[in-house]
A and B are shown apart, each in its own frame.
Chain A
């Protein structure tokens, strides 16, 4: 045991490890804040689609040889989020297939571009690390970290500021519209925030695993908590904790960071499910 702590302490000396931990905790906190709304509004599949779009955008940026990939990835993902939300509102089936088309399409094009034009010697390694985020979290620059912290704080602030309205439209869109809440505008805001979170979280766990960060903590919290407020707080804390544990485990055990975090999330989900079913059996 002492050995492990000694090892962790020595890792902490490196600034990039500290950066990774800060960014990881902040990003997972934000993603689970909105995860609750996404899951309840049956929007979680949009998150999944968007992460694939972000992968496509990232490969375009890589092929174009941009120094700052965010400049392409962020706007492309935000625009796709808005488009998907629009099509999802018109008719359910149309929305579903639009997402399928967009996500599969961008995966295919992304991989194609990377293979055809990449200057890197190890293409499949690159692809694998964008999909599963193997080490990109450990190569963050100071700028990345500052941007990430600023965006996370902004997202949390917006969430708190609009918390009551977000609850209203999550629970009942038509009622909210009838009482004069600008539901369309809030959905647009939500779509934008989701896109930002997905791009941020991609560094952490890679684009294939982003949805796990959004979905698992919220679902776990919903098993146990009885009110929207406690669900939200619980899922945010749980997500931050799981990511911290996941990252530390990955450092010590040398496993890939992204999949370790998701594995911890899955364990937490089953633990919470068990707790939830024990409690509900008692109350019956």
Chain B
């Protein structure tokens, strides 16, 4: 059974439809890239997957031992966060969920946070203030926080937006390692179609026309042709 199954999903705000009749599924270990123009409804789709946005019709279900609140989420950055006075450690710890109520973080949770900071290469920055970090470092902090919330599936909303090419590459490699070594399923929103074809196992293209299939199929389809032409011109 798939980890996430969407059937005939229609999404929108206040009776205005944005996406209609969307069906796809995500299997354990998949690396799914969601692509599409600005405003096509990618963030809305991710919010629906997280249970933050109610679909107008259709069904989202989870399976393969995944529960809705076991998904790690890296949101599209908001202005509030950019100048937030908090240390890296505090932010990463805030990703830890606890089954029962406790006013303080447990030893295990602190250990989990430390491990994820090491994994994301930010352990040396743990006392630093979030707002003083570079964009790439901030993204790694948020990724470490998302990792504290899940061992199974990560939803990443434009994790590389605003990063320079070098840091973008590092970020892609980091995410790829999480997928290959830690066997974490990845669902990522991206505008970078060449990178999506390179790293992802599956691609979901939303917009006027919808495509869902493997990355190879996508590379051969009409959707990607336009990019191939561009690449030939550039190369």
Binds A, one of B22-30, B79-87, B184-192: B79-87
B103 touching A163 by the CB < 8 A rule? yes
Contact of B149 among A164, A179, A226, A231 (CB under 8 A): A179
Chain B residues with CB under 8 A of A231: 85
Binds A, one of B46-54, B113-121, B158-166: B46-54
Binds B, one of A65-73, A132-140, A169-177: A169-177
B94 touching A167 by the CB < 8 A rule? yes
Q: List B residues 57-103 near A (Cβ within 8 Å).
A: 69, 71, 73, 75, 78, 80-81, 84-87, 89-91, 93-95, 97, 103
Chain B interface, number of residues (Cβ within 8 angstroms):
32
Q: List A residues 158-184 near B (Cβ within 8 Å).
A: 160-164, 167-168, 171-172, 174-175, 177-180
Docked pose: A178 CA to B72 CA in angstroms: 8
A160 touching B90 by the CB < 8 A rule? no
Q: Is B145 at the interface (CB under 8 A from chain A)?
A: yes
Q: Is A117 at the interface (CB under 8 A from chain B)?
A: no
Contact of A178 among B71, B90, B93 (CB under 8 A): B71
B94 touching A226 by the CB < 8 A rule? no
Contact of B84 among A161, A162, A171, A180 (CB under 8 A): A171
A181 to chain B, nearest CB (A): 8
Q: Is A227 at the interface (CB under 8 A from chain B)?
A: yes
Docked pose: A68 CA to B179 CA in angstroms: 64
Chain B residues with CB under 8 A of A229: 87, 90
A178 touching B73 by the CB < 8 A rule? yes
A230 to chain B, nearest CB (A): 8
Nearest residue, chain B, Cβ from A225: B85
Docked pose: A226 CA to B85 CA in angstroms: 6
A164 to chain B, nearest CB (A): 7
B123 to chain A, nearest CB (A): 16
Contact of B52 among A164, A168, A174, A228 (CB under 8 A): A174
Contact with B along A222-264 (1 / 0, CB 8 A): 1001111101000000000000000000000000000000000
Q: Is B227 at the interface (CB under 8 A from chain A)?
A: no
Chain B residues with CB under 8 A of A164: 93-94, 103-105
B87 touching A226 by the CB < 8 A rule? yes
Chain A residues with CB under 8 A of B71: 178
Chain A residues with CB under 8 A of B93: 164
B42 to chain A, nearest CB (A): 14
Chain A interface, number of residues (Cβ within 8 angstroms):
25
Chain B residues with CB under 8 A of A225: 85
Chain B residues with CB under 8 A of A179: 69, 73, 95, 97, 149
Q: Is B129 at the interface (CB under 8 A from chain A)?
A: yes
Chain A residues with CB under 8 A of B69: 178-180
A171 touching B85 by the CB < 8 A rule? no
Chain A residues with CB under 8 A of B94: 164, 167-168, 171-172
A174 touching B50 by the CB < 8 A rule? yes
B97 touching A226 by the CB < 8 A rule? no
A41 touching B80 by the CB < 8 A rule? yes
Chain A residues with CB under 8 A of B129: 226-227
Nearest residue, chain B, Cβ from A176: B94
Q: Is B111 at the interface (CB under 8 A from chain A)?
A: no
Chain A residues with CB under 8 A of B149: 175, 178-179
With A172-B94, A225-B85 given, can you name 17 additional A-B contacts, CB distance below 8 Å?
Answer: A160-B103, A164-B93, A167-B86, A168-B94, A171-B81, A171-B86, A171-B94, A174-B50, A175-B95, A178-B50, A178-B52, A178-B73, A178-B149, A180-B69, A227-B87, A227-B90, A227-B129
Which 5 residue pairs of A and B lie closest in terms of their CB atoms, listed nearest first?
Answer: A180-B69, A227-B87, A226-B129, A228-B86, A178-B50
Residues of A within 8 A of B (CB): 40-42, 160-164, 167-168, 171-172, 174-175, 177-180, 222, 225-229, 231
Q: List 7 A-B contacts (CB under 8 A).
A: A160-B103, A164-B104, A171-B94, A172-B75, A174-B50, A179-B73, A180-B97
